[in-house]
Structure 1
Amino acid sequence: MDATALRELKAPLKRRYRDDPESARAHLHAEADFSDAGITCTVQTWADTRAGFHPFTGGDGSDACSGDMLLHDLLACAGVTMRSVATAMGIDIRNGRLRASTEMDARGTLGVSRKAPVRLGDIQVVAELTERYCVAQSLARPPHLIIRRAAEE
Structure 2
Amino acid sequence: MASVALHEKQAPIKDGYKWIPSNAVFTLSSSGTLELTSITCKIGTMKQISQAKQKIVGLHQKTGDDDPEIFGELCLENMLLKALVACAGSTLKAVAMTLDIPIAEFEDGKELAEDKIEKLGKLTERYCVVIQAITKNPDLSVSLRGGGASRSLK
One fold, TM greater than 0.5? no
Which protein has greater RCO, CA pairs closer than 8 Å, 6+ apart? 2
TM-score (norm 1): 0.41
- The structure richer in helix per residue is 2
TM-score (norm 2): 0.41
